[in-house]
Amino acid sequence: MKLTIISQDKTVYKNNKAFNKLNLSTVPSNIHALQWNETQGHIEFNDNKPNEIITELPSWANDCLAEWEVANAHELNLLAELNKPIIEANIIYTDQEKLAHIRVQRDKRLLDSDWTQLLDAPASIDKEAWAVYRQLLRDLPSQPDLNLDLPNFPIPPSN
């Protein structure tokens, strides 16, 4: 697991997925950040103390990780609710409702590909191809020939 905790920003990254505005009240006040990569990491301090190498996550880091897990579960529940099938028996949807559903599906695809645009995204990916894919997603709802019943979503790059 890759983990970054930035106390001042109230942000936790786990495997390149971030949530901010988390309750990180258990982080000691002299901690700026924690960086963890699989089996070891370091703690950065904001009081001129040198970085501390660690081989085990401190209890406060596990508390922060638990906050991330709660936020992640909440997001997954929201996405599942938003992505319920648009076609249900005996219900006729307006074009506005269909477009709203397309936007929800598009937003999920954008969210799922956010990691490709981070500075620490793997060098092996084609960032430009991902940027083009994400722009196509953004442009999709405004296409004049958009089929509201069967939208043609762009296909993400293979890497």
Q: What is the mean pLDDT of residues 21-47?
A: 95
Structural domain spans, the chain: 2-75, 83-142
What is the pLDDT, as a whole number, of residue 75?
Answer: 77
What is the pLDDT, as a whole number, of residue 159?
Answer: 65
The per-residue pLDDT for range 37-85, each reduced to its tens digit, is: 999 999 999 999 999 999 999 999 999 999 999 888 887 776 666 555 5
Its pTM stands at 0.54
Share in percent of the chain as helix, strand, coil (round to 5): 40, 20, 45
The per-residue pLDDT for range 84-130, each reduced to its tens digit, is: 555 555 677 788 888 988 999 999 999 989 999 888 888 889 999 99
42, 50 contact by CB (below 8 A): no
Q: What is the mean pLDDT of residues 137-149?
A: 92
Q: What is the mean pLDDT of residues 124-142?
A: 93
Q: Angle at the Cα of 124 (from 123 to 129), degrees rounded to 5?
A: 95
d(CA 43, CA 12): 14
What is the pLDDT, as a whole number, of residue 158?
Answer: 81
d(CA 96, CA 98): 5
What is the pLDDT, as a whole number, of residue 13?
Answer: 94
What is the pLDDT, as a whole number, of residue 1?
Answer: 93
d(CA 2, CA 24): 18
What is the pLDDT, as a whole number, of residue 89?
Answer: 55
